[in-house]
Amino acid sequence: QLTPHPTEKTIHVVSHEHGMTVTKTLQEGEAEPQCQSFSYGRARLRARLLEGASLLLLRVLARRQTVPPGLAFPAINAEGDLCTSSY
């Protein structure tokens, strides 16, 4: 039988004049929170979608019931890593 093991994961994104800083915090049960922070310069972020914007775009495409072939966007995933979202 498994016992409850609460896990809380948060990602805090702050935009500033030089780019963006992402801070990830993971807390498992009563353990000390583990934090990671990293920054991206403006040049690397140009035309990138955050995870929430990507989900919103997906809903719009679903509502329209159409997806252009080969649709892909530079994105930032749930872990704060730079990636590509294909639809």
Q: How many CA atoms lie within 13 A of 58 on its CB side?
A: 11
The better pLDDT of the pair 29, 52 is held by 29
* pLDDT above 70 (res 38): yes
Q: Kindly report, residue by residue over 42-63, the tens digit of the pLDDT.
A: 777 666 656 667 778 778 888 8
Q: Which residues contact 73 (CB under 8 A, 6 or more apart)?
A: 47, 48, 49, 54, 57, 84, 85
- Mean of the pLDDT values across residues 34-40? 86
pLDDT value at residue 35: 92
